[in-house]
Chain A
Amino acid sequence: MSLETIIIQLAIGLLKSIAIFALTLLGSLPLGLLVAFGRMSKWAPLKRLTLTGNGRFKQSLAGIRPLQILVKLYISLMRGTPLMLQLMVVYFGPYYLFKIPIGQNYRFTAVVIGFVLNYAAYFAEIYRSGIESMPVGQYEAAAVLGYSRPQTFFKIILPQVIKRILPSITNEVITLVKDTSLAFAISYSEMFTMARKISSSQSTLVPFVVAGIFYYLFNLIMAYVMERAEKSLSYFR
């Protein structure tokens, strides 16, 4: 197989890697914000029930925040187990658990679902750190001026949070470029899976070298894009 064919084959794989990358960000950046809200939720439904008593047991029940607990569990599972394993659970899970037959097109969907769920957990913690680092004075100024809660969050808080967390987001974005290769765990034919296939059938390491170069270039571009994004927010402090 000529170098040219290898490059073309891998370029096709690269397009699929880019698709995983783009859809993951598209899904996990908004989902991460929702997860962060859940993580910060103070909703304690048992508070009202237990208002009448004040025993120690009832006191501890009143403090239970079910949504926060659930989201904490989700985040710790996503961050505490290998992404590769999570992909396999998403891909094989429906069949093993519910005997739902695995369709032809499900492989790509499973990759994207797995990546979105995983990255949303990381992004949620980044959002949370950003939101919690905001000075309370910003909320108070907005409240006194009469901004509603959604207005306060989306107009006043979020833009400042985004500026603060952009460096951490850049880290995740760069990791994600490389992480797309984990889709090989369920044999989705993105670039790394392709490189492995070609390499073993042609007994050559060239595909890996080429793939490595592609990943590197991909990341150079992303680093540049993120740098531009950070610059575009440097008009304020």
Chain B
Amino acid sequence: MNVLELCNIRKSFGSLAVLRGITVTVGKGEVVAVIGPSGSGKSTLLRCATLLETVDSGEINYLGDYVVRTGPDGQAQYSPPADLKRIRRYFGLVFQNFNLFPHYSVIKNVTDPLIHVHKRGKEEAYAQAQALLAKMGLEDKADSYPYQLSGGQQQRVSIVRALAMKPEVLFFDEPTSALDPELTGEVLKVIRSLTDEHMTMVIVTHEMQFAQHVADKVYFMDEGLVVEQGTPDEVFGRPQEERTRRFLERYSPSAP
């Protein structure tokens, strides 16, 4: 069974059609990379999948649990709030600019949602958070506040915060775009380490080499459509579409 299915998603902001019928499926343990030029709708797609935006039409389900389906009138019909609340537990999202809670220490950023959303015991939550922080090389930062950390460290904390909730699928929206180039490596390394544990992930990124290395499947989006999809070898190695080729040329190291 697929962890996530997005079927024929359409979304407009006013008269601007941002998603024009997008279908994406994510299998268990799969790493999916979404690439494409700025403004192609990648973030909007993730925001629809994570319930931060509503779709105009189309269907979304996590493990067969429907977020939204097409009603008899052709309009999107969202499941009742109680269902959505349950479905939120299936996914986590790592933001471009981290969005850590600045008034909470690192450890509290991680444990607070465990305790107050998942209703776990305090000791259990702290133990789990400590273990995850240690794994990410952040054990000595547990009592720091976000402003005391580098961007790379903040992003690693936000990954720990999302992981601690044990999501079925973890979304990343350009996780390294807000970082200085010398800090992107440490974050990419952490994400790569998650693939070893068969974490299901959907990663929007402009790091083409990274996408090529870690992804099982690549979607190339442009102007609200999936223009091309396939394995990294297919999409990066022998792109079929002119638009894909032009986009990749701009990112390839040999380009002028």
Contact A237 B145 (CB under 8 A): yes
- Mark interface residues in A156-192 (1 if CB within 8 Å of B CB, else 0): 1001100100000000000000000000000000000
Interface residues in B109-166 (C-beta closer than 8 Å to A): 112-113, 116-118, 145-147, 161-162, 165
Partner of A137, one of B85, B97, B145, B165: B97
Q: Is the CB of A237 within 8 A of B102?
A: yes
- Stretch from A96-104, A140-148, A193-201 contacting the other chain: A140-148
Q: Which residues of B contact A151 (CB under 8 A)?
A: 116-117
**B25 close to A (CB within 8 Å):** no
B31-70 CB mask vs A (1 if < 8 Å, else 0) is 0000000000000000000111000000000000000000
In whole angstroms, how far apart are the Cα atoms of A156 and B101 in the complex?
Answer: 7
**B93 to chain A: closest CB distance in Å?**
5
The CB with the most chain B CB atoms within 10 A, among A141, A159, A163, A236, is that of A141
Q: Within the assembled complex, what's the spacing in Å between the Cα atoms of A160 and B117?
A: 20
- A138, CB-defined interface residue at 8 Å: yes
Shortest CB distance A232–B (Å): 12
Complex Cα distance A19/B117, Å? Answer: 41
**Is there contact, CB below 8 Å, between B117 and A236?**
no
- Residue A224 CB within 8 A of the other chain: no
Whether A237 and B147, one on each chain, are in contact in the complex, defined by CB atoms closer than 8 angstroms, is: yes
| B52-A236 in contact (CB<8A) | no
In chain A between 217 and 237, which residues have their CB closer than 8 angstroms to a CB of chain B?
235-237
Q: Which residue of B95, B117, B161, B162 contacts A140 across the interface (Cβ within 8 Å)?
A: B95
Cα-based distance from A39 to B113 in the complex (angstroms): 30
The size of the chain B interface, using a CB distance under 8 A, is 28
Determine if A138 and B101 form an interchain contact, defined as CB atoms under 8 angstroms apart. yes
Cβ of A63 to closest chain B Cβ, rounded Å: 16
Return chain A residues, CB-CB under 8 Å to B116: 147, 151, 155
**Which residues does chain A contribute within 8 Å of B52, judged by CB atoms?**
140, 143-144
Q: Answer whether residue B89 sits at the interface, using C-beta atoms and an 8 A cutoff.
A: yes
**Given the complex, which residues of B lie within 8 Å of A159, measured CB to CB?**
103
Residues of A within 8 A of B102 (CB): 160, 236-237
Question: Which residues of B lie under 8 Å from residue A160 when comparing CB positions?
Answer: 102-103
User: Separation in Å of the A136 CB from the closest CB of chain B?
Assistant: 9
- Docked-complex contact B145 and A236, CB < 8 angstroms: yes
Q: CB of B79 within 8 A of chain A?
A: no
Please tell me which one of the listed residues A141, A147, A155, A163 contacts residue B99 in the complex, with CB atoms under 8 A apart.
A141
Distance between B27 CB and nearest chain A CB, rounded to angstroms: 22
**Smallest CB–CB gap between B245 and chain A, Å?**
35
> Across the interface, do A143 and B51 meet the contact criterion of CB distance under 8 Å?
yes
User: What mask results when residues 68 to 92 of chain B are scored 1 for a CB within 8 Å of chain A, else 0?
Assistant: 0000000000000000010011011
Chain A residues within an 8 Å CB radius of B97: 137
- Give A73 Cβ to nearest chain B Cβ, in Å: 31
Measured between C-beta atoms, what is the minimum distance from A55 to chain B in Å? 20
Greatest chain A CB density within 10 A among B85, B101, B116 is at: B101
CB distance B85 to A140 under 8 Å? no
B113 interface neighbour in A135, A140, A146, Cβ under 8 Å: A146
Contact between B117 and A147, CB atoms less than 8 A apart? yes
Contacts of A115-152 to chain B: CB distance below 8 A: 135, 137-138, 140-147, 151
B92 touches A236 (CB 8 A): no
Q: If the complex has contacts A163-B103, A236-B102, are A144 and B92 also in contact, measured as CB distance less than 8 A?
A: yes
Measured between beta carbons, the chain A residues less than 8 angstroms from B162 are 145
Contacts of B112 in A (CB 8 A): 155
Find residues 9-33 in chain A having any chain B CB closer than 8 Å to their own CB. Answer: none
Which residues does chain B contribute within 8 Å of A156, judged by CB atoms?
101
Alpha-carbon distance between A145 and B146 when the two chains are bound, in angstroms: 18
State whether B89 touches A141 (Cβ < 8 A).
Answer: no
Name the CB-closest residue of A to B101: A156
Neighbouring B residues of A140 by C-beta, 8 Å: 52, 95, 99
**Cα A134 to Cα B161 with chains together (Å):** 21
Structural contact, A147 and B113, CB atoms closer than 8 A:
yes
Complex Cα gap A135–B101 (Å):
11
Q: Is the CB of B117 within 8 A of A137?
A: no
Interface contacts beyond A235-B145, A237-B102: sample of 11 additional A-B pairs, CB < 8 Å, sorted by A? A138-B99, A141-B95, A144-B51, A145-B162, A147-B113, A147-B116, A147-B117, A151-B116, A163-B103, A236-B102, A237-B147
